[in-house]
A = this chain, B = another copy of it.
């Protein structure tokens, strides 16, 4: 198991971690298999979406904030229920295929750590399963 560190800089912040994951894969020497990413936090998530135009991630963050408002008669007293709900909707893990030593991603895809209750120092765990 490998651990990546991610520093988020605002309350809502999606950080592109694709190159960090590619480096771990390259260092592993694995040519074919799967890589599973796991976020060990309950107010964050992981997603794969467009990495080319930053306005896509902006729109995802903004629309999630409209759908799941920060205040909405929540019972949890820490004030971050919206972040917990977003975490369950976006999800805390992803599995990506490995072929010929590279992550198999579509032309426009990048892997993002999604912070919904930052800024914080966060972790992403990952494990590579060789085919």
Interface positions of A (Cβ within 8 A of B):
1, 32-34, 36, 38-42, 47-50, 53, 55-56, 58-60, 62-64, 66-68, 72, 74-78, 81-82, 84-85, 87-97, 99, 104-109, 125-127, 129, 131
Residues in B with CB closer than 8 Å to A42 are 48-50, 56, 106, 108-109
Are B129 and A33 touching (Cβ within 8 A)? yes
Are A127 and B48 touching (Cβ within 8 A)? no
Are A56 and B84 touching (Cβ within 8 A)? yes
Are B88 and A47 touching (Cβ within 8 A)? yes
Are B76 and A59 touching (Cβ within 8 A)? yes
Interface of chain A, helix or strand or loop or mixed? mixed
Pairs across A and B, CB under 8 Å, 7 listed: A1-B32, A48-B93, A56-B84, A59-B84, A60-B81, A89-B89, A92-B94
Residues in B with CB closer than 8 Å to A50 are 42, 84
- Which 3 pairs of residues, A with B, have the shortest CB-CB distance? A40-B106, A55-B75, A59-B81
Residues in B with CB closer than 8 Å to A89 are 89-90
A95-B92 contact, Cβ under 8 Å, with A34-B129, A56-B84: no
Are B76 and A72 touching (Cβ within 8 A)? no
